[in-house]
Structure 1
Amino acid sequence: MVTVVENKALYEEIIEKAKRIGEAAELEALEADRNSTISPRIAEIIREEEIHRLILPKEFGYPQLDWRTFVDLVSKVGYHNLSAAWLTYFFSAHNSWVCYYPKHIRDEVINQGGFVADVFAPIGKVEPVEGGYTISGKYNFVSGINYCDWVGVGAMMKFEDNDKPERVGILLKVSDLEVVKTWDSLGLRGSGSNTLIVDNVFIKPDAILRFSKIIEKSQPPYEDFDQDYLYYNTPFYPGFYVGFAAMAVGGAERVVEEFEKHTAGRVRFSGVNEKDSPTSQRVLSELKLEMLSAKTLLNEYIKMMETDKGGPYEGAQYKAIRAKIIDKCTQIGVKALLTLGGHALLKGHPVELFTRDLMAIATHITSLYEDGILGYGRHLFGVQTNIQG
């Protein structure tokens, strides 16, 4: 089975959108790095290109993308700027979980048109009150929150049909919350992943999303839903996390090109052109092969999603493949930086910037290499891992 583009004209249009976002963000990369956020201009370009509309059910009137097109969109932005790719991916993918809410909530969020953020670490404290609940909590790493109108936050709750507490997502309006600018990171600085304070905010029961129900069945709980929608036809978590690998591949591809370019123009103190050095020749060969390997694994990941169609699937395998892709891409950055030498270490050098960003992607909880590889190994020996993807 080959991953295919279902609509070539649409694919080309989407890649042009990605290039516009990526190229604009690349011009502002150093500014975003200093300010720990992309600029309002970049956020507005993402909005103008309606990236947050691209993977919605067809009833909303926007083109539905196939997985190949969506992955290449994120990769193309990542080739130019990984912070912008991070937010391009999130601002589109976050509408996917909104589509599992009852129709009146889903329609309110989507028709309002605002960006959606999320941080589903289950740290919120939920208390029952008349007519619903209240929630309080301090959430770190809320990417893109500077430009979002809505946010999903995590908590643990107990329900009558389950004897154990379960993880839930709770939809809130950002205007009801406090955003604290705390983001000062090694990489992905332009993502503006600041801290969110939720202080005794009232929530209605229908604003609570039970992830256990999505795990059981990729389709939403209501009957009248779009049968062709991406996330209703693939295991939810692998589909929700694919963007991490996609952007890493785009960023690593840029690193390889930068390595080749800077090596070709580099002259050692001895007067020898670095491109004639067996060391750099060998490294470039290695980087190209690792890049090919990462892309091949990403293609396999896409094929798996297209095949599984929301039925039973091996979550541990998805996680291991994704972790392997991101690890390969991160090591491409590190290898290129160490081989190019001191001039590539200067602040703002493309390889320095992309390598920091790739390392930041690799630290995300869904990307951790040791966790992914161990989980898959345990799965292969028949150990129950409960890894969802």
Structure 2
Amino acid sequence: MTNTVLQAVEAHAEELAALAPENEKLGRLSDRAVEILRETGVIRMLQSAKYGGAEAHPRDFAEVVMRLASLDGSTGWVAGIVGVHPWEMSMCDPRVQEEIWGEDHDTWIASPYAPMGVLRPVEGGYIFNGHWQFSSGTDHCDWIFLGAFLGDEDGNTIMPPKNYHVILPRSDYEIVDDSWDVVGLRGTGSKDVIVKDAFIPEHRVVEFAKFLDGSQPRESGHTDPSFHIPFTTAFPLGITSAVIGIAEGALNAHLAYQKNRVQITGTKVKDDPYVLYAISAAAAEIKASRTAMLENVTYFYEKAKRGEEATLTERADSRRTQVAAAWRAVRAMDEVVARSGGNGLRMDNPIQRFWRDGHMGLAHAIHVPGSVFHATALTDIDVTPPPGPMLSMI
């Protein structure tokens, strides 16, 4: 099937690449970059058809995110994160879906999911407080998912902690404007958000465990396979795809720069077998990362299509595949950047921006290999479920 959204993105490729410096300067996506994402339908790819979504194959979504990130890391990153939220929202309470999309199917939803808030039970719902970092694309979103722990009547976290996703309209949280000053992905505008004593009705709170165990997708009534792939495969999909796309962008910029470059020794790069070898080796590694990501999500889509549920071992292996793909791509990017010369790191050369963006993306919590690789090794030797918080990572 033709990926029509990818075709639409390609029609704007030159413009999206040209907007990258402006996005970085603004510290958020420019209005024009957002307009293009809306026009092409990127954010609605995984959205329910009931509210104007494409219910696209998640592989198609990953390919679009990679392409966007290869043009501008920040645009790809925002598309990858904000673009997954409609997938989750499509499985939430029908009342909140109607609140968000009833009048405008293009309403965007931000996050983060880190449980940095506490829900205090009251009649009809909860009182909610917290402070979160890293809300990517938040300036362009009118609703938000925020992670929280359940508290008691005094607001103290109940032990053992229970993790929830809480859904709020823009009027119920504050965006901290000067909270995004970082080395890479500057154009994502991943700012802090603060919630103070917001009342949250019960239908806008969903238990995270129900996504992990697959009960939330089943209860939602959706039959499309895309809604039945594991949450821990779907949520990282946009983020890891963005990192791989950034590495592809660095490689493309490097190749364009090297075509006519003459090294200080007087040797043209195209005549230097050592640099050419490194370029090819890096290109192969980046392509391997792309292939691994796409094959991974396709495997779970086809499994869901057959009505089969993913095992814990398969979920763990999926996370290992994603994490390894991100690290492989960034390591390969480092090899080509290291051979770009001093001028390749001038601020007017896009190579340096891709390099900074890639390392910032690799620092995301989902790409930390320790607990993921630990948990996966345990499942490989039949220690299931893995102990403690490692389970939440797979």
TM-score (norm 2): 0.89
Check conservation: 1:125, 1:135, Cα contact below 8 A.
Answer: yes
Q: Could you give the per-residue CA deviations for residues 141-195 of structure 1, whole angstroms, max 9, x where no partner exists?
A: 1111111100011111169xx9843100110011222111210111111100011
**1:1-389, aligned counterparts within 5 Å?**
7-8=1-2, 11=3, 13-20=4-11, 22-113=13-104, 114-157=107-150, 164-181=160-177, 182-217=179-214, 219-220=216-217, 222=219, 225-228=221-224, 230-231=226-227, 233-309=228-304, 311-313=309-311, 314-383=314-383, 384=386, 385-389=390-394
Structure 1 residue identity aligned to 2:362: A
Distance 1:360 1:240 in 2: 18
What is the deviation of 1:58?
2.4
Instruction: Report the 3-state secondary structure (helix = DSSP H, G, I; strand = E; otherwise coil) of the residue aligned with 1:65.
Output: coil
What is the deviation of 1:42?
1.4
What is the deviation of 1:340?
1.3
**Identical columns (%):** 24
Q: Which runs of 4+ in 1 moved over 4 A?
A: none
Task: Give the total of aligned pairs.
Answer: 376
Is there any run of 5+ residues in structure 2 with no aligned partner, and where?
Answer: 153-157
Check conservation: 1:362, 1:369, Cα contact below 8 A.
Answer: no
Check conservation: 1:316, 1:387, Cα contact below 8 A.
Answer: no
TM-score (norm 1): 0.90
What is the deviation of 1:60?
2.9
Distance 1:276 1:218 in 2: 59
Cα 1:151–1:62 shift into 2, 3 Å: closer
Larger mean CA deviation between 242-251 and 194-203 belongs to: 242-251
What is the deviation of 1:29?
1.2
What is the deviation of 1:236?
2.0
Cα 1:304–1:222 shift into 2, 3 Å: closer
Q: Could you give the per-residue CA deviations for residues 345-376 of structure 1, whole angstroms, max 9, x where no partner exists?
A: 11131211111111111111011234433332
Check conservation: 2:118, 2:151, Cα contact below 8 A.
Answer: no
Instruction: Report the 3-state secondary structure (helix = DSSP H, G, I; strand = E; otherwise coil) of the residue aligned with 1:101.
Output: coil
Distance 2:190 2:11 in 1: 23
What is the deviation of 1:50?
2.9
Is there any run of 5+ residues in structure 1 with no aligned partner, and where?
Answer: 1-6
What is the deviation of 1:61?
4.2
Structure 2 residue identity aligned to 1:331: R
Cα 1:70–1:227 shift into 2, 3 Å: same
Structure 1 residue identity aligned to 2:75: A
Distance 2:118 2:52 in 1: 38
Check conservation: 1:255, 1:332, Cα contact below 8 A.
Answer: no
Larger mean CA deviation between 170-179 and 304-313 belongs to: 304-313
Structure 2 residue identity aligned to 1:189: R
Instruction: Report the 3-state secondary structure (helix = DSSP H, G, I; strand = E; otherwise coil) of the residue aligned with 1:126.
Output: strand
CA RMSD of aligned residues (A): 2.2
Instruction: Report the 3-state secondary structure (helix = DSSP H, G, I; strand = E; otherwise coil) of the residue aligned with 1:209.
Output: strand
Q: Could you give the per-residue CA deviations for residues 17-59 of structure 1, whole angstroms, max 9, x where no partner exists?
A: 2235554332121122122111122112222333232222223
Distance 2:246 2:94 in 1: 37
Structure 2 residue identity aligned to 1:311: E
Check conservation: 1:21, 1:77, Cα contact below 8 A.
Answer: no
What is the deviation of 1:382?
3.0
